Amino acid sequence: MKKIVRNIVLIIATLLFILYAQKNFDSYTLSILNNIGIFAILALSYNLINGVAGQFSLEPNGFVAIGAYFTAILLIPAETKVDMFALVDPAPIILQMKAQFLPAIVIGGIAASLVALLLSFPVFRVRGDYLAIVTLGFGFIIRIFAINNPAYTNGAMGLNDIPSNANFIWIGSIALITFIVMIHIIYSKFGRAMKSVRDDEDAATAMGINTFKMKTYAFMTSAFFEGLGGGLLASMLTTITPDQFSFLLTFQLLIIIVLGGLGSMSGALIATILVMGGMEWLRFLDDNIVLFGKDFGAHPGTRMVVFSIILIIMMLFARRGILGDKELFDYFKKKSK
Amino acid sequence: MNIDIFLQQLVNGASLGSMYALIAIGYTMVYGVLRLINFAHGDIMMVGAFLTFFATSAGMPFEVAVLIGIVGSAIIGILTDKIAYKPLREAPKISLLITAIGISFFLENLFTVLFGSTPKAFKAPEYLTKIFHLGNIYLPISVIIIPTVTLLILAIVLWILYKTKYGMAIRALAFDIQTVKLMGIDADKIIMIVFIIGSALAAIGGVFYAVSYPSIDPLMGIIVGLKAFAAAVLGGIGSVGGAVVGGFILGFTEIFVVAMFPELGGYKDAFAFFFLILVLLFKPTGIMGQDLERGRF
Amino acid sequence: MGNSILKIENITMQFGGVTAIKDLSFEVQKGQIYGLIGPNGAGKTTIFNIITGNLTPTSGFVIFENENITSTKPNKVVYKGIARTFQNIRLFKSMTVLENILIGFDAQANYSYFEAILRLPRFFKKEKEIRQKAYELMKIFGIEEFADTNATALSYGNQRKVEIARALATNPKLLLLDEPAAGMNPNETAELSDIIHKIKKDFDLTILLIEHDMKFVNAMCDQLTVLDYGAKIFEGKPADAIVDEKVISAYLGDFSHA
């Protein structure tokens, strides 16, 4: 009982903070908080398939793109679409698609989740690490598809004038919901079963666990929240292009969940803040570098070199990340009787 | 499609397929011994092409430059294994995969930072680019030379695998790493040989790519690597012969589908992905592969 | 014969060109402790993998409670009432003892994914139920003090107990034990025998066990089959096995400590 009261207090406090921040913080601070919120949603959900279920996947950019496109198409008014589509006329269905903000992002999430279901059949029925390569390929296919179907996506030019509904109240609350859902999954028979698949697939099967089903549940859940996050991202940025959803996005999320500790949701939250902060802080690396009075010019990508080295070093020497696969409160929990 | 065009496309397909085959061999061999999708493999191909490019730019003869590319790639391959993979042999599989993707991303961005992301024109020697004609077919000589060299290399690789003691050890390692260790074989040395062979072939594939297109950029390895991996799965992961068959099938498919249905040209890079999905759905062991993934007790 | 629980009928298993099991048949009666013994590489674990559906035999059938379960998927075999342990203990290494055992109760905690996510009443009810059952199981094995300890941090003997408890959690009728005494000292082995007898009685189990250690088998089993190179060379009482000439010649050396 005490635990429930404590949790409710924490949730209310978080919601109050979100409301306060939206009302009182300046737009710069809010934009940082929005970014952190969206990355938290993505990292938490990515952590479910990669960390909890232990299935190495490289999908977030693909599913975020699906969510973003669905949301954008559902939110942009038909007249705006007609004006915007420059290469070809928009397909009739694109003009008909219309929804309110919340249904729009949920539809984006469901769409991503259904694609995850389709991908599950080829990759989870066989053993091996095909999920990684299939999802990596999928990220490229989405881009190819977006570029080659201008009647649906406006091709390489992307979509703009997306109504900007996603404020910090939306983003913050959905991040909170995502966290709660993930924790609820982890501390249930489904979370245990997912972890058992990660630890020893044969032994899990021998205990009656349907490993295909558990992997698919994890994957679809991840995809749903990534799609949702994509919708929020589209509405926050108001402009999307196929090139935005490159592997870079997935790579940043991978760093976050590795740093937080694969399988730890509270770790992913902490790491989101650290990595997003680090990204800002290391921005100077991509700018002009001046050493001993000599200008070496700008070298975009330097930050990514640094981050890939950090990732490799962490895998080699600090594989457990900040919190291992435990949650923050596990460390404070007294031994239960 | 008339016979001339058909023949022309056939030769183009063989040339493209050769490139995929050479790169696929590295994927399949590393997967065989480590059960690891070596995400950095496509980037090692890129390194090979870049080193060759720099050597020719420095005025070296093309043949010497290619050799530098091969040796350089082999060294990068060995270093990758020693630094990033070897310490994780006993670690959970996911750690190894994450490190592999880290190495891949590192190489791509390092080369972008050092040499810029704009594609560089690759100048191949004249004897490779000269156009010849047979009846009504006009082709650069490279499209004949590339498949020929590839088949020659394949013969050498198969000879190493089946006629030398190292080859025997590689095949034994693909079967069971523990047994091999018990037999007193130095597994790490064998794995190193696999990385040398794989990286050297990737470098040659990279040079062929550079000669055919003819330009190179730091991200060229991503899509080609992805396709070559799909080719390896199509042929049967773990099987060198399968990698070659898969590579050629993919090469021919890309060329012929686009020749017959030009409107699908934009989707050319997606064919490999659909092959991959189809193979996993209907015949995960591929055309020539054995089941490497059966649960062991 | 009406009391038979498991029937192995003419099973042959070939890997490539190698025959691992050759036309093997035997029958386990309800309530028995049945031993499957033989030298290393005789095909004992292969038979386990065939019974549990991890392998499909080249020919032959597995009949469990008069139902043909040949090549039923491994996780479905568990629902039929067959559970197993592994030769080299395979606990879930990131989980506590309690969590390991809770995995065995997975099917009994029949709440849905959405009930878990939304924390509906059935979630709490079922979780409470299986936790109680898990603690009861741990008590039988005397491992309840380790409930919140990481399973792989336990001693070898205790890990074996966790593994058996985890298998029992699936509520089996037939328990397959793959070399349960392997790597145990004499004290641990004696304790294990007691536990096996006890759970057999308490849970109304039939037990099929693979063993290497003849002494352990003699003390445990009502009936046994001896395998050599995948073929049955003896079937009968343990007391008769140790004087059987074929068994002796196949097993030479292992009798020294029998």
C90: phi > 0 → left, psi -120 to 50 → alpha, else beta; which? beta
Amino acid at C90: R
Which residues in chain C are closer than 8 Å to B295, comparing Cβ atoms?
54
Distance CA C211, CA C208 (A): 10
Which residues of chain A neighbour C105 with C-beta distances below 8 Å? 189
User: What is the count of residue pairs from A and B with beta carbons less than 8 Å apart?
Assistant: 129
Q: What is the distance in angstroms between the Cα of B266 and the nearest Cα belonging to chain C?
A: 41
Q: What is the pTM of this model?
A: 0.92
In the block, tokens 């294994």 appear at: B81
SS3 category, A185: helix
Which tens digits make up the pLDDT trace of C160-177? 999 999 999 999 999 999
**Could you say which of B37, B103, B284 has the minimum Cβ distance to residue A126?**
B284
* CA distances to A211, A214, B202, C161 from A201, in Å: 7, 11, 34, 20
In this prediction, residue B294 has a pLDDT band, given cuts at 50, 70 and 90, of very low
> Strands C174-178 and C206-211: what pairing?
parallel
Q: Label residue B109 by pLDDT band (50, 70, 90).
A: very high
CA-based nearest residue to C151, from A190, A195, A51: A195
For residue A133, give the chain B residue with the closest CA.
B226
Distance between CA atoms of C178 and C160, rounded to whole angstroms?
A: 11
CATH class, range B3-282: mainly alpha
B280 touches chain A (CB under 8 A): yes
Asked if A251 lies within 8 A of B105 by C-beta distance, the reply is yes
Residues paired with B138 in a beta bridge: B133
As a whole-number percent, the residues of chain B with pLDDT over 70 amount to 96
Give chain C's contact residues with B (Cβ, < 8 Å): 45, 48-49, 54, 86-87
CB contacts of A58 in chain B (<8 Å) are: 101
What are the Cα distances from residue C103, in Å, to B199, C119, C155, C166, C241?
44, 19, 21, 7, 38
Which residues, 6 or more positions from A189, have their beta carbon under 8 angstroms from its beta carbon? C102, C105, C106, C109, C111, C116, C127
Chains that touch A (3 or more CB pairs under 8 A): B, C
pLDDT of A169-195, one tens digit each?
999 999 999 999 999 999 999 999 999
Contact (Cβ atoms closer than 8 angstroms) between residue C63 and residue C17 = no
Q: Residue B277 in contact with residue A155, Cβ under 8 Å? A: no
Residues in chain B, overall count: 297
Neighbours of chain B (3+ CB pairs under 8 A): A, C
Residue C256 has what pLDDT? Answer: 45
User: Which residues of chain A from 175 to 234 reach within 8 Å of chain C, CB to CB?
Assistant: 181, 184-185, 188-190, 192-193, 195-196, 198-200, 202-211, 217
Q: What is the pLDDT of residue A333?
A: 67
* Lowest mean pLDDT segment, chosen from A296-300, B170-174, C57-61: A296-300
Q: Do A141 and B272 touch (CB under 8 A)?
A: no
B 35-54: CB under 8 A from A: 35-37, 39
CB–CB of B229 and A133 under 8 A? yes
The span from the CA of C31 to the CA of C25, in Å, is: 19
Enumerate the residues of chain A whose CB falls inside 8 A of the CB of residue C106: 189, 192-193, 207-209
CA angle A92, A93, A94 (to 5 degrees): 90
CB contact under 8 A, A301 and B117: yes
- The CA-CA-CA angle for residues B193, B198, B200, to 5°, reads 95
Q: Is the pLDDT at A166 greater than 50, yes or no?
A: yes
For residue A300, the model assigns a pLDDT of 76
How distant, in Å, are the alpha carbons of A168, A323, C24 from that of C42? 66, 46, 12
A76's tokens: 């942009």
Select from A126, A262, A317 the residue whose CB has the most chain B CBs within 10 Å, as the one to mutate to test that interface: A126
Q: Which ipTM score applies to this complex?
A: 0.90
DSSP C153: G
SS3 state at B176 = coil
The whole-number pLDDT of residue B104 equals 96
Whether A330 has its CB under 8 Å from any CB of chain C: the answer is no
Comparing C-alpha atoms, which of B234, B224, B232 is closest to residue B280?
B234
Asked if A305 lies within 8 A of B106 by C-beta distance, the reply is: yes
pLDDT at C257 over 50: no
Does CATH place domain C82-171 in 3.30.420.590? no
In this prediction, residue A129 carries a pLDDT of 83
Query: In the prediction, which pLDDT does C28 show?
Result: 95
Taking CA–CA distances from C110, the nearest residue in chain A reads A189
Average model confidence (pLDDT) across chain B: 90
Of A188, A209, A335, the CB nearest to C103: A209
Q: How far apart are CA B41 and CA A135, in angstroms?
A: 17
Cβ-Cβ contacts under 8 Å for A83 (sequence gap 6 or more): none
B–C interface: beta-carbon pairs under 8 A: 7
Tally A–C CB contacts below 8 A: 91
Q: Where are the domains of chain C?
A: 1-77+172-193+205-258, 82-171
Residues of C in contact with A195 (CB under 8 A): 92, 94-95, 99
Is B226 touching A (CB cutoff 8 A)?
yes
Nearest to B101 among A141, A254, A304 (CB): A254
Question: What distance in Å separates the CA atoms of residue B185 and residue B197, rounded to the nearest whole number?
Answer: 19
The pLDDT-based confidence of A281 (bands split at 50, 70, 90) is confident
Confidence of residue B186 (pLDDT cuts 50, 70, 90): confident
* A140 to B292: CB separation less than 8 angstroms, yes or no: no
The pLDDT of residue A169 is: 96
CATH of domain C1-77+172-193+205-258: 3.40.50.300
Query: Residue A337: its pLDDT value, please?
Result: 37
* Chain A CA closest to residue C108: A189
Average pLDDT over chain A, rounded to an integer: 92
Domain boundaries, chain B: 3-282
State the pLDDT confidence band at C205, using cuts at 50, 70 and 90.
very high
Cβ contacts of C95 on chain A, cutoff 8 Å: 192, 195-196, 199
Residue C66: closest CA among C54, C78, C81, C53: C81
Per-residue tokens: A168: 């910090």
Instruction: Report the amino acid identity of residue C143.
Output: I
C177 chain-B contacts, CB cut-off 8 A: none
**CA of B134: how far to CAs of A126, B17, B127, B176, in Å?**
47, 22, 17, 51
Question: Which band of pLDDT confidence, cut at 50, 70 and 90, is reported for residue B293?
Answer: low
| Chain B residue with the nearest C-alpha to that of A121 | B281
Confidence bin at C252 (pLDDT 50/70/90): low
User: What is the C-alpha to C-alpha distance for residues A28 and B38, in angstroms, rounded to an integer?
Assistant: 41
CB contact under 8 A, A128 and B237: yes
- Give B103's contacts in chain A (Cβ within 8 Å): 308, 312
Tokens representing residue A140 in the block: 């490229």
Q: Which amino acid is at A253?
A: L
For chain A, percent of residues with pLDDT exceeding 90: 79
- Give contacts of B297 with chain C, Cβ < 8 Å: 45, 48-49, 54, 86-87
What confidence tens digit (pLDDT) does each residue in B11-49 have?
999 999 999 999 999 999 999 888 899 999 999 999 999
The answer, yes or no, to whether residue A35 has pLDDT greater than 60, is yes
Note whether C1-77+172-193+205-258 and C82-171 share their fold: yes
Q: How many CA atoms lie within 13 A of B226 on its CB side?
A: 25
A332 close contact with C: CB closer than 8 A = no
The pLDDT of B268-280, averaged and rounded, is: 90
Q: How far is CA B155 from the centre of its chain?
A: 16
Determine the angle formed by the axes of helices B187-212 and B3-34, rounding to 10 degrees: 160
